Structure 1
């Protein structure tokens, strides 16, 4: 069945580092930003909190929209995901992530890395370090459409 899903990708920036997760998938081990599918009747800020909590055990609060993208599968599987990337800030005193949080067994590591360190890691179809840097450092940055993430290369 063909369907469209909504996904949230969360950029958590703290003391010059970004929160990333490492998960083992069908394409091998890769690093990405926390995030996942938005559930039915779930608001984006709620999905942001839930996904980061499930994957890292950290509490966050959504600050603002960064960009929108698509993941349109060209191989005939009927998968189409609309992604919303948001910036979130840590809330509470705990700043040490727990790999897989409390619920996600596919994630075997979570931690803080610089954008330079992130560039060296194998990545999946997630935000790229350059996109994150532009969104965080450009004083006139405006959210925009980033295109089909499955067409982009690392």
Structure 2
């Protein structure tokens, strides 16, 4: 098909301009793939499932709200049986943490490890080490939505 010469010359100019600017055009890149002098990025976790392999639920359409909490859990201390109605993930900065689901699934974490927590499933965590646990957890919920609820029977759980 014959194109007018003006069409052809416009496309050639566009191609040449694109080629010359190619070094300046940055394609979308995942943060951990970017090369920035003096910056090191390490992916700790990326998942569409919680640590026991169950798929994460869809986000709700209401106004989103992010909450970040830092926990310090002394050796031998234990959180009550609870569940999260929102997606959350954490990074263990120090110590050793064991998380157990009501169904009997167990996850052991050591400093530097990350987890995508259970959503809508009763579980509890405890410091299974000899040093304090230092844990940061990110919750992706909605305005006025609780991030944690005590599970039925939590008060009497041993």
* TM-score, structure 1 normalization: 0.26
Structure ranking higher in strand proportion? 1
If the length of structure 2 is used for normalisation, what is the TM-score? 0.26
- Specify which structure has the higher proportion of helix: 1
| Bigger Cα Rg | 2
